[in-house]
Amino acid sequence: MEPTLEHGERVVFNKFVYIFGEPERGDIVIIEKPVKNYVKRIIGLPGETIEIIDGELFINGKKHIQSFLSLDAIQQTGNYGPIVIPDNQYFVMGDNRGISKDSRNGLGLIAKEEIIGKSELIIFPFSEWEFTK
């Protein structure tokens, strides 16, 4: 998830937020898989069509600006799709697009039940305290 979350940072995750609501685009979530957990950003929601053309994200045919990404990350995103996201499924990507294992290449679509928390706050190192965005 670099550069949003750097190696060695410690983050508080809210494990109750999705009991009362649904994941939203842009949420940084923890995903529970059998072998290991992953931290990724929600990009696509159920019912949406996702396509990536030359690094640019399109949702339902409209270009979507990803202001949290650097130009390098956008250029490393490549091409993908189109794919229609089924009910109760989410499309996720890491912010370090060139090397991220995510919905494009290994994790596949993520069921809501696999999302076990939302990132809320970076708490370590202490000089880096801030809400995640």
Q: Where are the domains of the chain?
A: 10-126
Torsion of the alpha carbons at 5, 11, 12 and 15, rounded to the nearest 10: 60
pLDDT at 89: 98
pLDDT at position 111 over 90? yes
Band of pLDDT at residue 129, cut at 50, 70 and 90: very low
pLDDT tens for each residue of 23-67: 999 998 989 998 888 889 999 999 999 999 988 899 999 999 887
Q: Pick from 12, 80, 18, 75: which is nearest to 43 by CA?
A: 80
Q: How many CB atoms lie within 10 A of CB 26?
A: 12
Choosing among 2.60.40.790, 3.50.50.60, 2.10.109.10, 3.60.20.10, the CATH entry for 10-126 is 2.10.109.10
Answer positive or negative: Cα dihedral of 120, 126, 130, 132: negative
CA 75, CA 59: separation in Å to the nearest integer?
18
Contact 106, 92 (CB under 8 A): no
Q: What share of the chain is helix, strand, coil (3-state, %, to 5)?
A: 10, 40, 50
Mean pLDDT for all residues in the chain: 82
pLDDT at 131: 45
Which H, E and C letters describe 44-83, residue by residue?
A: ECCCCEEEEECCEEEECCEEECCCCCCHHHHHCCCCEEEE
pLDDT at position 124 over 50? no
DSSP assigned state of 86? P
pLDDT at 125: 42
pLDDT at position 4 over 60? no
Ramachandran angles phi, psi of 126, nearest 5°: -60, -30
